[in-house]
A and B are shown apart, each in its own frame.
Chain A
């Protein structure tokens, strides 16, 4: 009996609230608790490849410039101002005075030189920044004028150059040695001492518990002041909790433990009525930047399928055959919009709404297939056959990691079944899929997600005929007329500095892609954030996330 008593007391103890929580409310008021699904892998912003790492480093490091997701302007950040030569080949940047690293050391042009010359263009350090700053096969070069002035020399005019310079700058005095002894790629791992990870951003690392959380505190040396001259950031602390399961993220948000929850469409009807009671507000930030596309291999192994997939009318019929409204309804609970252009409407300035759209119309689809393409259902089994009698069967691959993409693929299978096409759906792991698309080329059709960015040029690897992500037509020497045209438009847009002129090129490109349908667009999910209501003046955007700019985020009490 006695032991049962102990167990009872223990249970009581375990289920009781922890004392002293009220006294800590001030701690919580100035603390932003964010859930992240996967743990950051490194704080080394130059070798990091995952978004999970960027979720931490975005608070720690800054570039010379910054993209403003509200006004779409390029703002000065570590650089205070800049000039460009008339040919657009020489850019002079004047660095902000009085900026200090989070360990108190001054930030100078030496750090900029270190970041570019010693790290980004160091052949021994593989990194993706090098690919961005290599223009027409040639690297950009730097000239240090003095402590506060840097000159960039470009091999050719490069329109997205200012935007590219949001590239984070890293400190020479901390990382110099690791570059010299060849350990740079493993420097600043999760096990690094927090005060060794030094940036100029509003926050710095206070504590890292692997698999559990990363705690950031305000950087006392942060350079920016608010309009009243008070130091920023206003929050004391950001705690990034690693919460792998979406269900758990939702529970912990409702419980008040975290301050942000990124909604799936299906969460909306559950969460909306709880807004007041659970003290949060739901923001609809706009269509997401990236989305899912259907693509067809232009060089499939089966000879007669090559004829099918290279037929623009067939692709047009298939696009008419996709019921995008149902997709938005069923998969995203109506929080999705139909996509027509290869760009998302959230892409500032360059998005064109004049690209042709394809409404769901199985009748038209079937008419195109039978009358224009010339397919018939001769054996009356409900599946069309081509002139040579091959039944219209398509193997559609997609990756298993994203349940919504798998759902989209399933809906496409059902939709196309209705217009007389048999689709065999083959889901697989992401790495296996990528290897099929880019290495073995052994695939027919794919539903794949492509991430977007604020600058169309950063998708050049996808759209240019020699781009390494131009996965639907990779062979050499079979560049089509359309590809020549797109290459030309992208090439012109990259070297033209006049923004309106660039928009014309990209408008033309969007029209061509929407007509040719080499990538058939589906729907764009809306980005929905639920944010604790003690935060004021929150204006989320798909480009800037829920809390831009993080240093000015404040709570009602402060």
Chain B
């Protein structure tokens, strides 16, 4: 199969996913009794007729499949529908917060990935070093401490010692800052949430990278390279790295959706104005179309992410490029 065909094939395989995931979401949301407007029923000043009028307006009184049909019809016109709570187009709400979430998760992913790969290689190269021992402990700690707890702990420390902002994305007086001050202000606000989000990813990837790299180190070809007097760093960062990184690249694609959906808890605890907290609220309040819009976005990212990691794999692993299996 040629490369272009491979991608096309993959893409076709993924298409049904884009329709099935929202349908599944629709169905799951209907398993939960009640709908968004039920909470209005508990307001003594809103009549039953008003609630019914709302339900009719959004076809909530019809069967699930009919509702799905209405929604798909809208979607064909690239209309994601209205959010019940915000009374605004879903797309506007998603877009207004997407950038904030991607900034936070992007920074967290970036530092976690770069450090994990780099330190993982070093730790594999020097398994008996102090560095390896220290990192081992950090990774253990990061994997076993719950995210929200670490987040609260850091916030309390920051409150006790001062220096770092305790939440939000910008200072109250942000508008009066100069350009440079603004950038520093956002960076300062990023420190705690991106650390908390990144440390778990770092720990997981670090251990994976180290284990992979260690395995490669034991391969015969490393011995050959050494015999040919290839310099140590070159062996480490070129030959070992390239061979060890495959599973991480596959993971990268899988993690792309987490860029928009993986930060809800941290966002809530640090008051970061992102998508995660909006989504959590939307799911709890059964703000149907907002949840669906998010679902479509996440599943698109999943598809794109997988394609992306396929492409990346081609770049880093020549064996896949030639279509022949390598030694294993």
Contacts and interface: CB of A to CB of B under 8 A. Distances in A.
Contact of B33 (A14, A18, A436): A436
A153 interface: no
Contacts of B191: 14
A186 B88 contact: yes
Interface stretch (A228-236, A238-246, A298-306, A344-352): A238-246
Given A401-B284, A435-B34, A211 B277 contact: yes
A449 B53 CA distance: 25
Interface stretch (A23-31, A87-95, A369-377, A416-424): A23-31
Contact of B159 (A17, A254, A459): A254
A234 B166 CA distance: 29
B159 A438 contact: no
A2 to B, nearest CB: 15
Residue from B38, B44, B181 whose CB has the most chain A CB atoms within 10 Å? B44
A136 interface: no
B170 A241 contact: no
Nearest to A35: B271
A310 B130 CA distance: 73
A263 interface: no
B5 interface: no
Contacts of B286: 431
A429 B32 contact: yes
Contacts of B38: 431, 434-435, 438-439
Interface string A404-430: 000000000000000000000000011
A334 interface: no
Nearest to B57: A126
Contacts of B33: 431-432, 435-436, 440
Contacts of A239: 172
B78 interface: no
Contact of B50 (A18, A41, A130, A245): A130
Contact of B41 (A27, A186, A251, A469): A469
A434 B42 contact: yes
B278 interface: yes
B171 A18 contact: yes
Interface in B113-163: 152, 155-156, 159, 163
A252 B166 contact: yes
B47 interface: yes
B262 interface: no
A256 B273 CA distance: 20
B2 interface: no
B155 A248 contact: yes
Contacts of B70: none
Interface stretch (B182-190, B291-299, B316-324): B182-190
A82 B36 CA distance: 40
Contacts of B85: 41, 50
B269 A468 contact: no
Interface string B80-108: 00100111100011001100100000000
A19 B163 CA distance: 12
A131 B47 contact: yes
Contact of A451 (B44, B88, B96, B152): B44
Nearest to A47: B87
Contact of A255 (B48, B166, B273): B166
B35 interface: yes
Given A41-B87, A243-B168, A28 B34 contact: no
Contacts of A39: 278
B74 interface: no
A429 B181 contact: no
Nearest to B163: A15
Given A14-B164, A19-B181, A431-B285, A128 B274 contact: no
B184 A458 contact: no
B281 A128 contact: no
Contacts, number: 188
Nearest to A31: B172
A86 to B, nearest CB: 29
Given A131-B46, A451-B44, A244 B268 contact: yes
B65 to A, nearest CB: 21
Given A126-B53, A210-B96, A211-B274, A248 B41 contact: no
A14 B172 contact: no
A131 B185 CA distance: 48
B328 interface: no
Contacts of B1: none
A330 interface: no
Nearest to A239: B172
Given A24-B173, A128-B50, A15 B44 contact: no
Given A14-B164, A15-B164, A251-B167, A241 B172 contact: yes
A17 B36 CA distance: 44
A469 B44 contact: yes
Nearest to B189: A14
A496 interface: no
A436 B39 CA distance: 11
A460 interface: yes
B164 A189 contact: no
A401 B166 CA distance: 25
B273 A242 contact: yes
A467 B45 CA distance: 10
B60 to A, nearest CB: 12
Contacts of A431: 32-36, 38-39, 285-286
Nearest to A184: B87
A189 B88 CA distance: 6
Residue from B38, B87, B156 whose CB has the most chain A CB atoms within 10 Å? B87
Interface string B25-59: 00000001111101111111111101001100100
B201 to A, nearest CB: 19
A440 B33 CA distance: 10
Contact of B39 (A20, A434, A440): A434
A316 to B, nearest CB: 26
A128 B50 CA distance: 7
Contact of A251 (B159, B176, B177, B188): B159
B268 A245 contact: yes
Given A126-B54, A186-B87, A401-B284, A16 B163 contact: yes
Contacts of A186: 82, 87-88
A446 B185 CA distance: 48
Contact of B173 (A27, A38, A131, A460): A27
B118 to A, nearest CB: 10
Contacts of A212: 168-170, 273
Residue from B35, B38, B40, B159 whose CB has the most chain A CB atoms within 10 Å? B38
Contact of B87 (A42, A254, A460, A461): A42
A439 B164 CA distance: 50
Contacts of B188: 14-15, 18
A301 to B, nearest CB: 16
20 contacts: A14-B164, A14-B184, A14-B191, A15-B164, A49-B43, A126-B50, A186-B87, A191-B92, A210-B97, A211-B278, A248-B155, A248-B269, A251-B159, A434-B41, A438-B41, A450-B44, A451-B43, A451-B44, A461-B44, A468-B47
Interface of B: 32-36, 38-48, 50, 53-54, 57, 82, 85-88, 92-93, 96-97, 100, 152, 155-156, 159, 163-164, 166-173, 175-177, 181, 184-185, 187-188, 191, 267-274, 277-278, 281, 284-286
Interface of A: 13-21, 24, 27-28, 31, 33, 38-39, 41-42, 44, 47, 49-50, 126-128, 130-132, 185-186, 189-191, 207, 209-213, 239, 241-245, 247-248, 251-252, 254-255, 257, 401, 429-436, 438-440, 450-451, 458-462, 467-469
Given A243-B271, A431-B286, 7 more contacts: A14-B191, A20-B177, A212-B273, A251-B155, A429-B284, A431-B35, A434-B34
